[in-house]
Amino acid sequence: MNIFVGNLASSVTADDLRRLFSGYGTIINAIVMKDTGSGLPLGYGHVYLVSENAALEAIIALNRTTLNGSQIDVRECVYRMRRERRTSRRAWTGVERRVSSARRHNGHTESVPLMRRVT
């Protein structure tokens, strides 16, 4: 089972997560997510435990515990479809919203051919 571990301190490494979860089952993978540009940790990670019962036991035991001075959130990782992620966003209420058929013309009112033939 894939377990989400949130609210990690910036000093937490994947080895720290492995040590924390090692008493609950066989760990397949433990990662701390990092920003691709800067390489800084994003504050969350994932641990994959083999036994589902062991994973549930770890979630119950380790949720709201302290790791490297930060209280961590531990829960089952639930993958959502793209549509489900965007349901909490408010609909656009601005006046200048373009409809799907409108195009940006960069100030030109008539269409300009892309390529002119030279004769």
The full set of domain ranges for the chain reads: 2-78
**Residue pair 6/78 in contact by the 8 Å Cβ criterion:** no
Contact 49, 3 (CB under 8 A): yes
Distance in angstroms (rounded) separating the CA atoms of residues 4 and 45: 6
113 pLDDT exceeds 60? no
Query: For 26-46, how does the pLDDT look when each residue is reduced to its tens digit (9 = 90+)?
Result: 999 999 999 999 999 999 999
pLDDT of residue 79: 83
Helix, strand, coil: what percent of the chain each, to 5? 20, 25, 55
| Most confident by average pLDDT, 15-19, 76-80, 99-103, 113-117 | 15-19
Structure-block tokens of residue 57: 């036991």
Is a pLDDT exceeding 80 seen at residue 99?
Answer: no
Domain 2-78 sits in CATH 3.20.20.140: no
Closest CA to 46 of 15, 12, 4, 14: 4
In this predicted model, which residue has the larger pLDDT, 38 or 98?
38
Q: What is the pLDDT of residue 54?
A: 95
